Amino acid sequence: MDAPKETGLRKVTSVASIPEMDDFDLTKLLDKPRLTIKRERSFDERSLSEMSISRGLDNLELGYSPGGRSGLDTPASSTRNSFEPHPMVAEAWESLRRSLVHFRGQPVGTIAAYDHASEEVLNYDQVFVRDFVPSALAFLMNGEPDIVKNFLLKTLQLQGWEKRVDKFRLGEGAMPASFKVLHDPERKTDTIVADFGESAIGRVAPVDSGFWWIILLRAYTKSTGDLTLAETPDCQKGMRLILTLCLSEGFDTFPTLLCADGCSMIDRRMGIYGYPIEIQALFFMALRCSLAMMKLDTEGKEFVERIMKRLHALSFHMRSYFWLDFQQLNDIYRYKTEEYSHTAVNKFNVIPDSIPDWVFDFMPTRGGYFVGNVSPARMDFRWFALGNCVAILSSLATPEQASAIMDLFEERWEELVGEMPIKICYPAIESHEWRIITGCDPKNTRWSYHNGGTWPVLLWLLTAACIKTGRPQIARRAIELAESRLLKDGWPEYYDGKLGRYIGKQARKYQTWSIAGYLVAKMMLEDPSHLGMISLEDDRQLRPIIKRSSSF
């Protein structure tokens, strides 16, 4: 776990390239081809409209793509101005490097938390796939792609393992939630143990891991310009295996993905079973990333067709039925129930009495969001930050919806951000509801942990969403809040309380993704062209035909 000392800071000058420009419109900046990048081959989103099955990966559109910075010959930050980086940046890099995990001498990931003060290590000494994403982005943005490549290859190998819970075998494509490297100093050997859900609390397999893996493969490819990794038969097969798990036909009547509770970042019972927004948004993004990377050989072509069909259905479903704003809420409030046949307006038979009181007060006239879950007679009206930010980044949200989500952040700043960015979901569930929904989970009491707790890692997603929607001032405000406490508090995993003011009851310190999330947010704000790694442009082919409500 020794971290090379000299790396990192040299290339990173933080703060400052967008200093006092509160009204500065980054989207305009992104539209302009500022960088001249020499690339061997370009790598960009395959638009559905441009897709023709006969084309190969090599023939993808050449030239500059807005925000699609390549790491090829663009030094990380050397052209930036000479402002001093925030002192926290250097500390953050040092802590991030301390969390590196090596396998046979090669860095392959970062541990979840480096908290020696904590008595219980639990599984925080493991490399979690989802936790590694912000670390990976930080390394890519800093021109250090090797660790990301090693991680992608190592987890791909783990995918090949046989996975069982008791006597039951999991799907071939499942990716681990986490893995651990065991060093044997005597024999001088390293071995890996992985967890696909069979050791996890509650025994739930992570649905998000495979999606993050695909998204990271694209980020790596986009950032380095190196198409060879994604093109290897192993990576192509890995992608196909992940997608096979999600694209198989069954009894589904919706294009969304049916999930067990606890299958994502929220990895314990929190009432997100069904069709949680976090998974649907990641699913959409992973499908679009795969579309860009899938080789058009015989097997690939078949997948591309299935992906395209699913994307159409999924975007229609999400944009129509998950979207909530003032107008839509009012419509649901007036819904008739028990409608039968194709003419039904209230397709899922949502009973207006099931709308919780809080949402009427919470909903501003300006703004909107994707609700937590939609299934028969059940709409979970809660706000979930990760799903909404990923919806913006993947362009699952139309540009109008994306800006309505940012409006919501502004209108409901106290509730969604408060004193520390940002709440994982809103509002918290309490009392009887908490008992029933969480199964009396003492870790998920109101305004703590997954139940309305505040997770600094989400800062990078918020920042990326802000840049994409041309609202960097919102990100800057959030980053300032984080800077006032994060380092001083020892980079906690989460904060508690309505305003996120208290360090979480059982929060680890030196939580790696809190550290990496901050670095990624800083680097993106400093150089918005980094956004291209984790953002996909709006695809006209996926635009909705219907116009339903005021903020569309």
Chain residues binding ligand GLC by CB under 6 A are 112, 128, 130-131, 265, 267
Smallest CA-to-CA distance from 196 within 123, 133, 146 is with 123
Which lies closer to ligand GLC via its Cβ, residue 144 or residue 267? Answer: 267
Smallest CA-to-CA distance from 529 within 194, 141, 213 is with 141
Say how far apart CA 544 and CA 396 lie, in whole Å: 11
Shortest reach from residue 273's CB to ligand GLC, in Å: 16
Tokens read off for 225: 């310009």
| Amino acid found at 150 | N
Smallest CA-to-CA distance from 523 within 56, 75, 1 is with 75
Which lies closer to ligand GLC via its Cβ, residue 131 or residue 527? Answer: 131
**Which residues face 380 on adjacent strands?**
373
Which lies closer to ligand GLC via its Cβ, residue 11 or residue 180? Answer: 180
Shortest reach from residue 128's CB to ligand GLC, in Å: 4
* DSSP run (H or E) holding 201: none
Sheet hosting strand 368-375, strand order edge to edge: 323-325, 368-375, 378-384, 425-426
Phi and psi, residue 179, nearest 5°: -145, 160
Which lies closer to ligand GLC via its Cβ, residue 128 or residue 322? Answer: 128
Say how far apart CA 171 and CA 322 lie, in whole Å: 28
Nearest-CB residue for ligand GLC: 112
Phi and psi, residue 224, nearest 5°: -95, -20
Shortest reach from residue 119's CB to ligand GLC, in Å: 17
Which lies closer to ligand GLC via its Cβ, residue 267 or residue 407? Answer: 267
Q: What is the number of other CB atoms lying within 10 angstroms of the CB of residue 173?
A: 17
Which lies closer to ligand GLC via its Cβ, residue 421 or residue 470? Answer: 421
Contact 12, 523 (CB under 8 A): yes
Shortest reach from residue 126's CB to ligand GLC, in Å: 8
Which lies closer to ligand GLC via its Cβ, residue 30 or residue 204? Answer: 204
Contact 358, 324 (CB under 8 A): no
* Alpha-carbon distances of 380 from 49, 192, 273, 439, rounded to whole Å: 34, 39, 10, 17
Which lies closer to ligand GLC via its Cβ, residue 242 or residue 386? Answer: 386
Shortest reach from residue 455's CB to ligand GLC, in Å: 9
Say how far apart CA 193 and CA 123 lie, in whole Å: 12
